[in-house]
Amino acid sequence: MNSIVITGIAIFFAILLIHIVVWNILRPKSEITALFALFIIFPAMMFIPMAIFASTAGVVEITLLYYALAAAYIQSYPGFKITIPSFKILQIIYEQRRSGAKKEEIAEKFDRHELIDDRLNLLVVDRLAIREGPIWVLTWRGKVLVYFFIFFRKKIYGMELGEG
Amino acid sequence: MILIALFAFGAVICIHVLFVRLLIKAKASFSPQIWLLYSLCIVNVISVVIVSRSDLLYHLLVLNALTYSYFHLFNMSDTARRIKLLILIHRGKNITNDNYSIESMIEVRLQRLHKMRQIYQDADSYYLRSYFLLGISFLFEGWKKILAR
């Protein structure tokens, strides 16, 4: 069992190392696609033949461990691309830890462009919404995402939709 | 071994859903993120008791990594600005300062951090209560530098 754990973790860190080197040398234009290719597709090309042709013990277990770690990293990645507002708020409060930070002082450190306009532009880039004159309209992808989260929050958890 | 790890992950989600539904019914003020952590702790403790020593490390790694991914999915449903904007568009609302202003966005986050016991309010100022999330935020900043961002 220890060899399975060591192998799964070693493969993950090897891919992570490649990721650091590639991102430092040439930053991919579409980072999420590149990340997906590096952490999901590339290892699958190794795991699938191993599972089919080789009699390597524990390939399925190694695959699950690797993908669990890779999924955790990929889910964290958006936080490395942008400044997470809650983290920024905590850092502002930390900087003013003696006197405390007032809500207005925190708001001053944010700008609408970074918080809202950039997010709206990303909806267009990701083809989740389009602008028709003054009105924003969801694409089918956007609708699928909205219905998924409505189902997830309301039907499964019985909660109101998130406040964003 | 794989099935037990996946079953344990499913148990974390079921326990979390149960906790959240009960807390809503009790009209309690709570942080669903913190309760996901409690659900994970419960399943981790049960795992330590019932999973064999030889499989335990593997089991805990898979269980905690999958739950961490699920935490992000849940968090996205709660906090993501993009999802909030998509829902506003879905409801036919214009994206204006009235329904999505910086002030309201900060207010929601301050309330959430307060519920998560990361900050507290004294008069009209906010102070740190815990260094946990702040520490994670510095880790994220450090990792950004490693990725040359």
DSSP calls for A70-116: HHHHHHHTHHHHS--HHHHHHHHHHHTTTT-EEHHHHHHT--HIIII
Q: What is the mean pLDDT of residues A52-65?
A: 82
Phi, psi of B127 (to 5 degrees): -130, 160
H-type alpha helices, chain A: 2-25, 31-36, 42-52, 59-76, 78-81, 85-95, 103-108, 112, 118-125, 140-150
At residue A57 the predicted structure's pLDDT band, cuts being 50, 70 and 90, is low
At residue B80 the predicted structure's pLDDT band, cuts being 50, 70 and 90, is confident
Q: Is the pLDDT of residue A1 over 70?
A: no
Give the per-residue pLDDT at B139.
Answer: 94
Contacts of A1 in chain B (CB under 8 A): 54-55, 57-58
Name which of B36, B53, B62, B97 to mutate to probe chain A: the one with the most chain A Cβ atoms within 10 A of its Cβ.
B62
Q: What is the mean pLDDT of residues B58-77?
A: 94
Please report the number of interchain residue pairs, chain A to chain B, with beta-carbon separation below 8 angstroms.
207
A89 touches chain B (CB under 8 A): yes
Give the per-residue pLDDT at A101.
Answer: 93
8 A C-beta contact, residue A116 and residue B81: yes
* ipTM of this predicted structure: 0.85
Alpha-carbon gap: A155 to the closest alpha carbon of chain B (Å): 11
Contact A102 B133 (CB under 8 A): no
Nearest 10 degrees: CA dihedral of A41, A42, A48, A50?
-170
At residue A8 the predicted structure's pLDDT band, cuts being 50, 70 and 90, is very high
Contact B79 A68 (CB under 8 A): no
For chain A, state the CA radius of gyration.
Answer: 21
For chain B, state the CA radius of gyration.
Answer: 19
Give the per-residue pLDDT at A16.
Answer: 96
Distance of CA B20 to the CA centre of its chain: 13
Average confidence score pLDDT of chain B: 91
Residue with the larger pLDDT of the pair A9 and A57: A9
8 A C-beta contact, residue A164 and residue B100: yes
Q: Which two tokens stand for residue B112?
A: 């959430």
Q: Is the pLDDT of residue B100 over 80?
A: no
Give the per-residue pLDDT at A82.
Answer: 79
Q: Residue ranges of the domains in chain A?
A: 2-81, 126-164
Q: Is the pLDDT of residue B42 over 80?
A: yes
Residue with the larger pLDDT of the pair A120 and B97: A120
The whole-angstrom separation of Cα A155 and Cα B22 is 14
